Structure 1
Amino acid sequence: MQDTDAAASAATPATRILVIEDDEAFRASVKRALELAGYQVSLFEDAESAMEQMAAVAPAAVLTDLRLPKADGLFVLQRTREKDADLPVVLMTGHGDIPTAIQAIRSGAYDFLEKPFSRERLLAVMQRAADQYRLVQENRQLKTRLAESSGIDQIVRGDAAPVRELRDLILRLAPTPVDVLIHGETGTGKELVARCLHDFGRRSGNFVALNCAAIPESLFESELFGHEAGAFTGAGKQRIGKIEHAKDGTLFLDEIEAMPLALQAKVLRVIQEREIERLGNNKPIPVNFRVVAATKVSLEDLAKKGEFRPDLFYRLNVASLKIPALRDRLGDILGLFQIFLQQASLRFQMPVPSLTPDQHQALLASRWPGNVRELKACAERMILGLPIFVDGEPTASAPRSFDESVAMIERSLLEEALRRHGGSVKAACAELSLTPATMYRKLKALAVDPSAYKDPSTDPAG
């Protein structure tokens, strides 16, 4: 049951402390000490109700007794870290619980206070905890402003609806500790999205990328977990593995479908426990890291065939991001191509040539099996004076009919005109010399929504 006074509801997140203590007299004593120091305090006598109200309380730190009825302080620590990995949790313990408290610190607790503790000790620990979280909040706000001002639209480029949705999801997921599974064809930019999740999030550690398809199976375990000197023949010195190197950061597992089945069970345990053991050493090492995995195939289908562990798939698939193929964002092709031409021009110190009508049509008619990576390579070939298509359409791909190619080009022209005019159908009609009736007929046939290109600051009647 919550025992919070009315004044606490007006507190700001930077000065609010959530306290969980089942001893009524001790709870009141802690509340009084914190309030005299200027903190706003929300009191709970059990862990369950505290966790239910945490989002509404929005504390700067959590102070909890280790021993509580039903769920204990370790439950509070686990649930708090699931909600916000940076929110400090301080444990109050009896003398006999100190080993448990020390283990809790290894699992992410901020500190512990051994009962009975002085008012000075209480305030010193809680002030440090609240100050640390204040810095975390300021860093989050800074990164949010950065994302909004310069932002992510200069990194994950494009105006197609699936791309805008992708950017929104990246910014929504980046500040959270949730693991993410990225789906996308070859060349769509899976590592770029993973880096955005890291850069726009709050992780202070390294971004560590590992291509699961590029590592021999015999070296996989050492590469991930590291090893001690003498752990096996040739292990002359201790080596830190990729997971340990990603502490407080992000571990990016690209092409995770190529990870050997035998290793998947060990990786699953590491993801669940957030601790590793180096080869040649049985001592567990706590590691706080975020997993971002990427695949170009359906892991669910592989799991049904027995080619991927279902439990690892479900553990990774808490949050998923789908990167659209280039052929599904035709309106972005020409804009991206111009950007890549400018980049290639600077790189090779050569002028940017003008696109001919035939090249324009060829860009829009291609199926782009290599997606954005292939488009970029195409731009570089054009800057170098080479044909922009070397092999043409892949032999495995069915050629598009004339009607399909015309529809693709028409859709691109309509989308570009709507984008330039902020979604105004009237202005787009004038530019393309189309009557409104013809315009609306084509918009319906090509499934183009003008509202997706509207500028919110303009009159919606335009």
Structure 2
Amino acid sequence: MPETMKIAIIDDEQDMRQSISQWLALSGYDTETFASAEEALKVIGADYPGLVVCDIKMPGMDGMTLLKRLMSMDSALPVIMITGHGDVPMAVEAMRIGAYDFMEKPFNPERMTDLAKRAAQARRLTLDNRTLRRELSDGTVLIRKLIGTSPVMERLREDILDLAQADGHVLIDGETGTGKSLVAHALHACGPRAGKTFLTLSCAAYGEDDLAAKLFGPPPEGTTLPAVEEARGGTLCLEDIEALPTTLQARLLTFINEQQGDVPELRIIAICNQQEPDKTCEDSMRPDLFYRLAAMQIVVPPLRQRGEDILTLFNRFAEQFSEEYGCEAPQVSAKEAAQLLQAPWPGNVRQLINTAERAVLQSRRGGGSIVSLLLDESEEMGQAITTEGKPLKEYVEAFERMLIDNTMRRHKGSIASVMEELSLPRRTLNEKMAKYGLSRSDYL
């Protein structure tokens, strides 16, 4: 359970507050207690990072009134009500208002722990979904997710910022696993349509009739509007555009041509996932539709073209997985760094994430190497482990940057600790950090 998950305990009886708090604390929760509803409302609001355990009968503002206030602020906040004997009808009413569940005094501590566990899981899911929605609507957050300082990534970020403002239709192309969906979200969130509808529809997920109904209508039962209407004023993201049947390509072209004005009512971002060898997205589409969509085009670079970004990404993902699994991130040797840089990465970033997770898991078991993982993956995919050789200087600089970056992260930006571990004088460390674009503020 995450450290930030709290349980607010509200009861006017001190002994009851303390006993509930002690039991839940022993179960691993971060508890805080309040003697009144008024006192609790000063702390608990929308996006409260936890759940609430509240007595129904209290002087001043009672539990039912507090529940209504909490539900008006955040209807997804789990509130567990404590009832006295004979208050079950009131507890049922609390459930109708929005309470997560209730416990009748005297209650079983094990049931309380079980309720708290389930409520905490539900709250974590709610908060994670809210965070994701905020990130998908915040262009600056999305741009930061496109990690890397390689020239191709700098150019990609510039293209996104430029095309986001242009407001025309866009075609996004690139190999599988490169992050095309993230680029589509960033295009929407960085432009004038940010805050408007962003709707995604996969052209490969449905048969022709179902896809026609979802895209143009009449909508299938249970939905209110076809996609071209639901996303009007915002952005419609069509994934797997190469799978759009020819008849629907013609209808989509007609729809685009019939939009009035210089600024389209609906912006279309088409994502091509063409995987057939020796075949391009253009080969799979009507020429007139292709050129309408590809007037503005972004090609997301494959991982093998991103140079030392590979090491930066590997370290970032390895750190995330090491936190998740509660172990140390594996230390990358010079040989392993060179192999990571040389690997062909046919699965791109998605494959790199998988490799980082497997490296953390085998490190936790105390065996294996990153090179062995790359050999296993290359055999599974029928790929050679190395691509064309790079100059030795590139490998040395990439490894040096990774080493400084890892050490700065481990010491949370402590220059003195990094100098000691790497045996570098202050001036040399400053020069190398400036050379590699590393800033101490990023590690504090």
TM-score in terms of structure 1 length: 0.50
Instruction: Please tell me whether residue 414 in structure 1 is matched to residue 405 in structure 2.
Output: no
Alpha-carbon distance in 2 for matches of 1:155, 1:414 = 24
Letter in 2 for 1:188: T
- Aligned equivalent of 2:257, options 272, 276, 279: 272
Per-residue CA deviations over 1:97-124 (Å, capped at 9, x if unaligned) read: xxxxxxxxxxxxxxxxxxxxxxxxxxxx
Shift of 1:419: 10
Look up the match of 1:397: 383
Alpha-carbon distance in 1 for matches of 2:236, 2:292 = 15
Work out the percentage of aligned pairs sharing the same amino acid. 34
Alpha-carbon distance in 2 for matches of 1:187, 1:359 = 22
Shift of 1:295: 1.4
8 A contact 1:222–1:241 mirrored in 2? yes
- Aligned equivalent of 1:376, options 353, 358, 373: 353
8 A contact 2:302–2:348 mirrored in 1? yes
Alpha-carbon distance in 2 for matches of 1:418, 1:350 = 23
Alpha-carbon distance in 2 for matches of 1:266, 1:227 = 14
Letter in 2 for 1:411: E
Shift of 1:245: 2.1
Look up the match of 2:320: 343
Per-residue CA deviations over 1:390-449 (Å, capped at 9, x if unaligned) read: 432455435547xx44x266424335668999xxxxxxxxx9xxxxxxxxxxxxxxxxxx
Instruction: Please tell me whether residue 308 in structure 1 is matched to residue 308 in structure 2.
Output: no
Shift of 1:225: 1.8
Mark the CA change 1:398 to 1:417 in structure 2 (over 3 Å): closer, same or farther: closer
Mark the CA change 1:324 to 1:238 in structure 2 (over 3 Å): closer, same or farther: closer
TM-score in terms of structure 2 length: 0.52
RMSD value over aligned CA atoms? 3.8
Mark the CA change 1:294 to 1:358 in structure 2 (over 3 Å): closer, same or farther: same
Letter in 1 for 2:351: E
8 A contact 1:364–1:408 mirrored in 2? no
8 A contact 2:241–2:273 mirrored in 1? no
Look up the match of 2:271: 294
1:216-231 equivalent positions in 2, closer than 5 A: 216-227=207-218
Look up the match of 1:208: 199
2:165 aligned counterpart, secondary structure: coil
Alpha-carbon distance in 1 for matches of 2:223, 2:378 = 50
Alpha-carbon distance in 1 for matches of 2:294, 2:312 = 32
Mark the CA change 1:344 to 1:395 in structure 2 (over 3 Å): closer, same or farther: closer
8 A contact 2:174–2:272 mirrored in 1? yes
Look up the match of 1:255: 240
Mark the CA change 1:178 to 1:236 in structure 2 (over 3 Å): closer, same or farther: closer
Moved more, 158-167 or 336-345: 336-345
- Aligned equivalent of 1:166, options 131, 139, 156: 156
Letter in 1 for 2:253: L
8 A contact 2:338–2:395 mirrored in 1? no
Letter in 1 for 2:201: L
- Structure 1: runs of 5 or more not aligned: 1-145, 229-234, 276-286, 422-430, 432-451, 456-462
Alpha-carbon distance in 1 for matches of 2:436, 2:317 = 26
Alpha-carbon distance in 2 for matches of 1:416, 1:391 = 22
2:362 aligned counterpart, secondary structure: coil
Letter in 1 for 2:377: D
Alpha-carbon distance in 1 for matches of 2:148, 2:324 = 22
- Structure 2: runs of 5 or more not aligned: 1-137, 405-421, 423-433, 438-444
Alpha-carbon distance in 2 for matches of 1:338, 1:420 = 10
1:353 aligned counterpart, secondary structure: coil
Look up the match of 1:363: 340
Shift of 1:253: 1.2
Letter in 2 for 1:348: Y
Instruction: Please tell me whether residue 246 in structure 1 is matched to residue 231 in structure 2.
Output: yes
Letter in 2 for 1:259: L
